[in-house]
Amino acid sequence: MPTGLKASSSVVSIGFEIQESAANTFAQTQVDLNLSPLDREVFVVLGINLDPSTPDCVIGTNTSVASSLCSTSQTAVQLLSNSNCLAVSVNSIKTHAAATDSGTSFQTLGMETPPAQLDYIGIIATNDFFVQVEGAGNTNARRVSGKMYGYRARASADIFAALVQSEVLSA
């Protein structure tokens, strides 16, 4: 248990899904955690599973579906180097420009479940989190679905203030 926090729930899973409005168009959804800021409630993230849909197989074209989960609103799919980004996943199909058959598929994942020695992978101090998806080279709109696992906790006043300030200022 992180210092300054006291668990106020057992482990819960929160499911989510978002689809692009059109092929290869950035989309984002906001998922409400229903935290109580008056009680200095935060969400301690234990694991995240992002499952982006399979890209379209377009002969001679590289296609992909990229997704990320962040604690703050974003204008594009993020990388793990963003301090507010908790998970990423990319599915892609790579083909040679002169190919006459299907290409090779690849999957890139930001660690879905942390190693056993980590207490948590992130703490969300504001009331919601955001999921992003964007395809490239596809002929159809793509989607991402997933689950986030964690528990609610109450933070001491100084820890809560520091967490909120850090999250909001780094947005």
Q: What is the pLDDT of residues 41-67, one digit of tens each?
A: 999 999 999 999 999 988 888 899 999
**pLDDT attached to residue 103:** 63
Question: Which is it for strands 12-19 and 85-94: parallel, antiparallel or unpaired?
Answer: unpaired
CATH for 5-169 is 2.60.120
Q: Is the pLDDT of residue 100 over 90?
A: no
Phi first, then psi: give them for residue 3, nearest 5 degrees: -60, 140
Between CA 24 and CA 134 the distance in angstroms is: 6
What does the block give as tokens for 91? Answer: 């599915």
pTM: predicted TM-score of the whole model, two decimal places: 0.88
Helix boundaries (H) for the chain: 157-169
User: What are the residue boundaries of the structural domains of the chain, listed by start?
Assistant: 5-169
**In the chain, where do the E strands start and end?**
5-7, 12-19, 27-32, 41-52, 63-70, 85-94, 104-109, 122-124, 128-136, 143-155
